[in-house]
A and B are shown apart, each in its own frame.
Chain A
Amino acid sequence: MRSFATFAVVASGILLAACARTPPPTQDVTVSLATLSCDQAFTTSRAKPVGLDPEDPVAIEFDIQHSSPCKLDTASNKQLYEVVRLPSADSPYLLTISSPKIGGSAFAPTVATLSQTEDVRRIYAHDAFLNRGNKLSLSIEAAPEDRFLVVSSHADIVGDQRSEITTHITSQSHYNAVSGISTNLYYGSESQRGYTMSYTGKVIVTTMPAPSRALEPPSSRPSTEKR
């Protein structure tokens, strides 16, 4: 009887745990760097490496935090940043930088690529990042000469609050016992959420082989003519 009671307690605990909702992920929102002192130049000494696979995407995730290096931009705005060491490559490849919207915030990004000698090659401002589902994202074709990627916060948009309306369509399958056929029923709804652009937050950097840039061949159609 005692073991049955123990079993019942354990089983109900497991069931309750299964029912408990996992709290949604969240991240800090930082809209002031007033207490930080920042350098004039950035350092690549703690650059994080990212690889390149000829077949599959390679991604690294990191957080730009309050403790990340800080530098002053050309307008003397403070910006937190992290540096990624880009892979050695013989040919161009696809490089995607994403700032996921987590909880009520998203990292306010701007990026630059640097040469081996740390000269700036290309700069992409915050407005080059476009909304792709649950993240702000920028894809570029990186050249072998791009050796470092600097991901920095962009002071101009930090603190901006953005609101967006999203439509959801869900389906439920219903089984008709009489006909033995399942039917999908569709339900639509709408949600509105907001997020604040932040000096800090998660960043995902992904490399992929460059996509083919050939025009798709005209669709071939099997001949139906009699020979």
Chain B
Amino acid sequence: MERTTIDLWFGAFVTAGFVALMVLALKVGNLGAERAAETYKVEARFDNIGGLKVRGPVRSAGVLVGRVSEIHFDNEKYQARVMLALDQRYKWPKDTSASILTSGLLGETYIGLEAGGDDKILANGDRIAITQSAVVLEKLIGQFLFNKAQETPAASTGSAPAASAAPATAGAAAAVVPALAGKK
């Protein structure tokens, strides 16, 4: 069969398309070696999962050890049922605890695993019993404000005897900021 220049161009064009797809899949996308790992599934229940998403990471000591495979709502216990697909290479004791954490202030939500001391290991379909829910920032601040507002009137009665409720709350809010910064 005779060859023409059009054949060459067509071949180069289609090859360029495949190369672009490979680049997008391997270099830009997540179709690397990570997907190939064998996994087993473990269930965990949380009162509040915060911003956790399907395919979110599961980490232990900062290392990626699995991914969130499913998230459901249990209408009998009113809890979130999260299925974790854990890497087959890593074995976990039965009393491992799972907590929902956030990387940085604005970062993604992930599940942190903390190994326990049990001899038996988690198998496919087991449930992680010890869980800790996501920390809801609004609740935390609300609690803090509430506590502060209870303290302040007693402490500041000397300096501002006629203080109404409004300045007291403003004072509490001002106190929150350095206190939160100090905590970090």
Our verdict on whether A and B bind, yes or no, reads: no
